[in-house]
Structure 1
Amino acid sequence: MTKRSLEASPDGIKKAKQAFLRKGWTQEYLAGEVGIKTRQPIWKFFSGQPVDRHIFIEICFSLDLQFEEIAIVPQNDRVREDEIVAWDINSLVNRVRSDRYDKIQDQCGTLRLLDITRPIDLDDLYVDVNILEEIASQQWLEISDFQIVHSEDFDRLGLGKIRIDGVPGLKAVERYGKLMILGKPGAGKTTFLQYMAIQCNQGNFQSDLVPVFIRMKNFVEDALDLDELDLMDYINQEFERCNVSNDDLEILLDRGKLLILLDGLDEVPEAATDRAIKQIRKLSEIHYKNRFIITCRIAASEYRFSGFTEVEIADFNQLQIEVFVKKWFAALARNNPDSGLKKASLFLAQLGMPENRPIRELAVTPILLNLTCLVFQAKAGFPTKRADLYKQGLDLLLIRWDEARGIKRDGVYRSLSLPQKLQLLSKLGLITFERGDYFFAESTIQQLIADYLRTLSDREVDLDTLELDSAAILQSIEAQHGLLVERARRIYSFSHLTFQEYFTARAIVADSEQLVPNLGGHLTERRWREVFLLAAQISPNPDRLFQLIQEKIQRFIAVISPSLSLYPVLTSPLTLLASADTTRTLSELLNWVKQKSLEVKTPYKPAAIRAFYFTLALPPNHRIAGNHTLALAIDDKLAGEHTGELALDLALVHALNIALTLTPELFCDRINSLHQALNLNHLTVIETIGEIIRQSKNQLPHQNEEGDSLREWWQANGVNWTVQLRLAIIQQRNIGWEWQLDEVEQKSLDLYYYGNRLLVDCLNSNCQVTPKVREEIEDMLFG
């Protein structure tokens, strides 16, 4: 076996003394650097006497010397070294891994999820992660490089074109001998390290190595005194507990046969950070042949280690989300995995719905995806009041995640209370969102933080202190919560647009006097839609908000169509038919909607009927023509197959729209559809219109006629036949008017519909609006 002690050669002593003089230390000081309580080994070292091998190496390291150049290597030691090389090192690896197998399985084989009362097997939940070899925050870019334009197609999930493809995690580990894996809070860094330890332990990955998993926080806490921090001794104790001798450990280290996994460098208390870093540096440099992987939160990555490659753990992609969700619900279903998979399918289906896009945005990190699954588990659905989910997510990131791991943070940020932290983040959200800034310079966000800090002090605060404190707070917000993220060097954004919107809404609700100026002017801006919804859900009394939206809608229409109320009600379609004048403007359209809804007899809410006929009246090529989702949102009893007068009017408009889109060539292919649309015998409400429609239907040629004959008929009769059909349904049902809207009116119609849709969505968001105001609002919808 390798000699347990070493002694310095005469030439080595000379080099060591020169290095010692350059340092300017005393022997007592050097003993402290090495981590021993007496200077006797130091004296022996410089005297050329045998010194414990471990201490000898530590002394050389502290003096910046290579111990191989200082020590005497006796001939018999060389023989032993050669014997070790010849000996089957794999046998030792297998034996030690076998001795430590149960320890690693117990240490890394399970996960504890927040609010789940039992541990979950790692294999039951683990999802392969991707690694970004190019760290986004280290790119030299400008804000203009992100090319963000907020529109209907804005990529909320990726905040624009800033997503980077990654490589499979295990492939990255195989590629680099020493890795520093960075990531946001809850990104899955610890789970990934545990997975590597288990895979190595079972011989499925790096099968020629022995895994060593160390939580850096535990390493520091287990030391009785900071001066006793010694990572090598800690590893030695771990091995001794598994009956692995120090000699065997020395051989494994010398041959580079350890996979050393150091988890959570950022979780080490500030007082011990420097010594912990020194211990890692010393261990990785002395035993450089071994593989090292360190995890750390990305904003706390100012630590640098020679020879380490820095990479970043990527957010989940769609496939990883699906795999995680299926595993999560199957694992929680215990003895009924089929039931869990059914719920997982329901979860994924609802997550993919357009209205749940903001929730989908959050579910890209394991910590928030786990929370989303947990919320869904109870009711097999997402909460109508999404703000509650976001609040739980913030509570998790701001408080519970560190608490669950027993971590206490230091620094100036810790002096802020939770309400102050929320108030600060709300102000940052509101100011940046109002400006339309999704990305902002580091100097800009630090200035906003400094402005807030001034409000907390009754006295003048030194500018230099403010600058330092604001920089420290920005780093803490990113490192501890991941709510702000450095997207490129000195360019930040909120980690999710949803959080920026939530904090904006929170700031507005907190200052009710700013409700009108902060929200009033943004009703028609689609990027503010989520803020309106969240403000309605957060506010303890949203009545004023609803009244504000309604007032803005009515005022907007009044400005665009000032004579709206002066237009005559369309009570005499026969007069219009005499001149075949069927075209109408936006103002008349809105009046017609009110009139038509009063003519029909249905059990549904009047507002739902108005919404129904509003979209039914639109030209067939309009994007919301015939879209009755808003009517259904007002009164869910409209769901299912329509009957009565609504079904009749729907069928007639459908037939007219088919006719309006036909050409002689299309007529051959779609004549069957036209015949079917005019076959109204299945409807119970036909009245006198049945005969008129039958006459129109009978004028059509038979669908079995030859194509040329059909084309000729439509060429000669199509326009006049369509006009007569329109006049008939106008006369009998007061529908089918041709609304000729100019560009300004078209834009007004879209915004009017958007405003009413927003109002309905706010009402349906499980907010605390009073019954009286709700009734008033519904009475005015499309009214």
Structure 2
Amino acid sequence: MISPDLISGIAFWVFKSLWESRDETYKLLSQRLNQSIFYASKEYQANYISRHGFIRQEEFRPSVPLTKLYISPSLVDHEIPAYSRNKSSIYYKEIDYLNKLKLTQSGDSLFSQHKHLIVKGDSGIGKTTFLKKLGLEAFSAEEDASVGGYIPVFIQMSQCFDKDIDFQNMIEEEFQICGFPEYEGFVESALRRGKLLILIDEIDAIPHQFQDDVLVKIKSFSDLYKSNRIILACRKSLDIKILTHFHSVNILGFGRSQIQKYIYKVNQIQYKEPVSAVTCQEIWQKIGEKDKATRLIVHNPFCLSIVLSLYQASAHRLSGRTILYEKILSNLLGTSISPGTLDLAYKGSKNSIEARIGILSEMAYVCLKSGRNYFHKVEIHRLYGAIVQKRNLQYDQLNFASTREENLNDFLINASENLYQFSNPLVQKILVSHYLMSSLKILDESIDQFLDTPSWKDVFIFLAGMQGADYLLSIIQSRIFYNLKSPSLSNFMNWIEAVSEDVCISSNQAVNRCYVAFMVFEIMLLFGDRGSEQSIISSILKKIKEVISLLDPECHLIKSINPRSIDDIKLSSNHFIDPKIAKGLSLERLLDLAAILSQKAQAYKLINYSNSQRLLSTILHIRKQLEGRSMSAYHRKVCEKNLYMLWMNSFDMADSNFKFTTDDLQSFHLYCRGTCLIVHCLREAFYVSGKLQDNVIQALFTNPFPALALTSNS
């Protein structure tokens, strides 16, 4: 039910526009007709609020009043060059930068300068909501405000399927359904007096073959009634050169502060009570800074709403990135193309959406497979044509070019004059996942060829989230096992299994095995003579840490030392060593670190008590002897080598067992990366059988080739 206090203002403007009219007919209105118009005016406002005053999105049930959730977006009156953006740039940071330079504007400042505006932006960026909010403001605004003194009329062009459009008739229908007496004469009078705020949404949704005719009609209509305010909304791709007297602005979405305000409002509506700033900041940290899948899209209000909904539904943790990007993909496919424009038909396909995703997914696959980020316009056009021909799609030859542009819109952006790139790398990768689902042969080839390629990691994770993951996990597991086939790595995995039986860092035995491997490489990085291999060892440590944090988020081994404050903090047993600071540590600090690591290893039962005490006392003795003395680089290296030997003895393992070659380290890094991928797939999987899941977890950091290790030992 519409609140009575919302029904105010419009009756005044309706009467004012009538009685100021020079049309003598309306000056002779009877008192009874006056009352009819007054009540019809109230009905019009109530109808507008009912239809356009609420956020109707799946994530908000029941619908939420627009005024309670609305955050004003950032606007610019010029196009931001796409070539200045990195492929994976964080868009909200660029908006913050523009805000800082004061290059963005508010709606009020733009409306005070221009009566006729075109608001352009990406799908889901808030164009429709922006127009609806302008209409709501007109009901309560003062006459001297930017939208004050105008009666809002909202026209949805997505409902128009031909070129026979009469804008005056469409406006009359808005008043007719509210019971306005003499609505035709009233609309004519209001138009001539310039009393309407005409909001025309989704003009790009008109079938492409009719768009030029409709734009001509908009120009003629706006020229005839130029004293009215007319605001249009469309996507960036629409060619609007004919509308010369319209000023074009771009809606960018949200910067950091706007996102945080939106988070606060959404949570306040969700919990129906004030939410603490600390809670909102925690949510922001997770979705805006830490998670790669969300920080690329949180500037977009539609996507941000989905992110917050999934965050709340997942007990305040981020999961289900496949669901998130499937919803985004569905929105792009369903709303970013004109009805009737896609005159393509799969043989056996049910609708044009299926045809479109078939084309886009294969294009995404070919582009990702190439290993390039940018593609010449000619390449894109040829690839599109080849795929259409390969799939036996039927199309209208005359409209082929325009249909192609419609299909590619919102997925590919023009990075420069002749170069294209995918606007969001994760949208590209979920499209690739759709393509891989269509062919088991292509899936096997892709796993075989790209499993160790970092840019394909998200493809396999999406694939696990879109279907049963048993087959995918089995193939990946068998592939990564081959990275452990060398005798030295096989022996190392046997040793990890044996030592980890007593380790108590976690109740998950796989985490304990990860910790053993982590500790060994941590010691190797700090004290082993591995100068030329430090980067690969540090990469191994990062991947093992990621696996641990995925398997057991509550595990203590997930904090890092900030290299900037290494000399100012007291190292705790929870810290792991950031490889970037290893070279910069003084020998005294290195010995302090060795002492802390020995205590941590003993606490988690990686080494026994007697070995730990022997190691600790030796370290402290060396530390005391060196206190206040200078030391050459040579003597430091000797000291580090002795520390390394002490650690090997404490592990009850000869140094020869850790003599990994560079090839061994690279193979182990690939194994760790593959293990990380498996755990991500398990977390994201739409379905995985319980038995396989247990087997996969139990096999992490174990020796898949025990016979090889036995042969080597003999």
C-alpha separation between the residues in 2 aligned to 1:660 and 1:229? Answer: 71
Q: 1:535 maps to what in 2?
A: 463
Equivalent residue in structure 2 for 1:199, among 118, 124, 137: 137
Could you give the per-residue CA deviations for residues 183-234 of structure 1, whole angstroms, max 9, x where no partner exists? 22222112111222333433368357423433333798799x9586535973
Task: Tell whether the 8 Å contact from 2:202 to 2:233 is kept in structure 1 after alignment.
Answer: yes
- Residues 198 and 746 (structure 1), Cα distance of their counterparts in 2 relative to 1, 3 Å cut: same
- Residues 337 and 698 (structure 1), Cα distance of their counterparts in 2 relative to 1, 3 Å cut: closer
Question: Are 1:503 and 2:431 matched, yes or no?
Answer: yes
C-alpha separation between the residues in 1 aligned to 2:122 and 2:493? Answer: 52
C-alpha separation between the residues in 1 aligned to 2:427 and 2:158? Answer: 35
Q: 1:612 maps to what in 2?
A: 515
C-alpha separation between the residues in 1 aligned to 2:158 and 2:627? Answer: 87
C-alpha separation between the residues in 1 aligned to 2:653 and 2:575? Answer: 8
Question: Are 1:135 and 2:79 matched, yes or no?
Answer: yes
- Following superposition, the deviation at residue 374 of structure 1 comes to 2.6
Task: Tell whether the 8 Å contact from 2:598 to 2:615 is kept in structure 1 after alignment.
Answer: yes
Question: Are 1:348 and 2:284 matched, yes or no?
Answer: yes
Q: 1:364 maps to what in 2?
A: 299
What pairs up with 1:256-271 in 2 under 5 angstroms?
258-268=196-206
- What letter is aligned with 2:286? Q
Task: Tell whether the 8 Å contact from 2:219 to 2:242 is kept in structure 1 after alignment.
Answer: no
What pairs up with 1:332-731 in 2 under 5 angstroms?
332-333=270-271, 335-338=272-275, 344-345=280-281, 347-352=283-288, 354=290, 356-381=291-316, 384-399=319-334, 408-413=339-344, 416-457=351-392, 468-477=398-407, 482-488=410-416, 491-540=419-468, 542-543=470-471, 545-556=472-483, 558=485, 564-565=486-487, 587=488, 591-602=491-502, 607-618=510-521, 619-620=525-526, 622-624=537-539, 629-630=545-546, 632=548, 635-636=551-552, 639-640=555-556, 667=588, 683=603, 686-689=608-611, 692-693=614-615, 695-696=617-618, 699-700=621-622, 710-712=627-629, 725-731=643-649
Task: Tell whether the 8 Å contact from 2:124 to 2:300 is kept in structure 1 after alignment.
Answer: yes
- Residues 662 and 498 (structure 1), Cα distance of their counterparts in 2 relative to 1, 3 Å cut: closer
- Following superposition, the deviation at residue 432 of structure 1 comes to 1.6
Equivalent residue in structure 1 for 2:682, among 763, 768, 775: 763
C-alpha separation between the residues in 2 aligned to 1:219 and 1:773? Answer: 48
* SS of match in other structure, 1:617: helix
- What letter is aligned with 1:517? E
C-alpha separation between the residues in 2 aligned to 1:776 and 1:474? Answer: 47
C-alpha separation between the residues in 1 aligned to 2:158 and 2:453? Answer: 53
Number of equivalenced pairs: 626
* SS of match in other structure, 1:298: coil
C-alpha separation between the residues in 2 aligned to 1:378 and 1:552? Answer: 35
C-alpha separation between the residues in 2 aligned to 1:314 and 1:503? Answer: 25
- Residues 178 and 512 (structure 1), Cα distance of their counterparts in 2 relative to 1, 3 Å cut: same
- Following superposition, the deviation at residue 348 of structure 1 comes to 2.7
Equivalent residue in structure 2 for 1:215, among 148, 151, 154: 154
| Greater RCO structure (CA 8 Å; 6+ sep) | 2
- Following superposition, the deviation at residue 305 of structure 1 comes to 1.5
C-alpha separation between the residues in 1 aligned to 2:553 and 2:165? Answer: 73
- What letter is aligned with 1:498? L
Task: Tell whether the 8 Å contact from 1:187 to 1:365 is kept in structure 2 after alignment.
Answer: yes
- Following superposition, the deviation at residue 428 of structure 1 comes to 1.7
TM-score (ref. length: structure 2): 0.71
- Following superposition, the deviation at residue 245 of structure 1 comes to 9.9
Task: Tell whether the 8 Å contact from 1:413 to 1:476 is kept in structure 2 after alignment.
Answer: no
Equivalent residue in structure 1 for 2:62, among 111, 118, 123: 118
- Residues 107 and 388 (structure 1), Cα distance of their counterparts in 2 relative to 1, 3 Å cut: closer
- Residues 269 and 720 (structure 1), Cα distance of their counterparts in 2 relative to 1, 3 Å cut: closer
- Residues 118 and 612 (structure 1), Cα distance of their counterparts in 2 relative to 1, 3 Å cut: closer
- Following superposition, the deviation at residue 434 of structure 1 comes to 1.0
- Residues 3 and 246 (structure 1), Cα distance of their counterparts in 2 relative to 1, 3 Å cut: farther
* SS of match in other structure, 1:503: helix
- Following superposition, the deviation at residue 425 of structure 1 comes to 2.2
- Following superposition, the deviation at residue 164 of structure 1 comes to 7.6
- What letter is aligned with 1:449? Y
Q: 1:230 maps to what in 2?
A: 168
- What letter is aligned with 2:629? E
* SS of match in other structure, 1:504: helix
Q: 1:575 maps to what in 2?
A: none
Q: 1:75 maps to what in 2?
A: none
C-alpha separation between the residues in 2 aligned to 1:467 and 1:113? Answer: 37
Could you give the per-residue CA deviations for residues 548-581 of structure 1, whole angstroms, max 9, x where no partner exists? 33344344555xxxxx32xxxxxxxxxxxxxxxx
C-alpha separation between the residues in 2 aligned to 1:652 and 1:299? Answer: 52
TM-score (ref. length: structure 1): 0.66
Gaps of 5+ in 2: 1-19, 26-39, 527-533, 559-571, 704-714
* SS of match in other structure, 2:198: strand
* SS of match in other structure, 1:424: helix
C-alpha separation between the residues in 2 aligned to 1:654 and 1:411? Answer: 55
- What letter is aligned with 2:687? Q
Percentage of matched positions with identical amino acids: 17
- Residues 272 and 337 (structure 1), Cα distance of their counterparts in 2 relative to 1, 3 Å cut: farther
Deviates more, 1:533-542 or 1:203-212: 203-212
- What letter is aligned with 1:753? C
C-alpha separation between the residues in 2 aligned to 1:732 and 1:98? Answer: 85
Could you give the per-residue CA deviations for residues 649-702 of structure 1, whole angstroms, max 9, x where no partner exists? x979999x9x99798x763x7877676666689959644325524642563576
Task: State which structure, 1 or 2, has the greater radius of gyration over its C-alpha atoms.
Answer: 1
C-alpha separation between the residues in 2 aligned to 1:107 and 1:381? Answer: 33
Q: 1:19 maps to what in 2?
A: none
Could you give the per-residue CA deviations for residues 126-183 of structure 1, whole angstroms, max 9, x where no partner exists? 11112232335xx6x9xxx5696x8xxx53759999x987613413333433211122
- Following superposition, the deviation at residue 254 of structure 1 comes to 6.4
- Residues 380 and 110 (structure 1), Cα distance of their counterparts in 2 relative to 1, 3 Å cut: same
- Residues 413 and 324 (structure 1), Cα distance of their counterparts in 2 relative to 1, 3 Å cut: farther
* SS of match in other structure, 1:113: coil
* SS of match in other structure, 1:445: helix
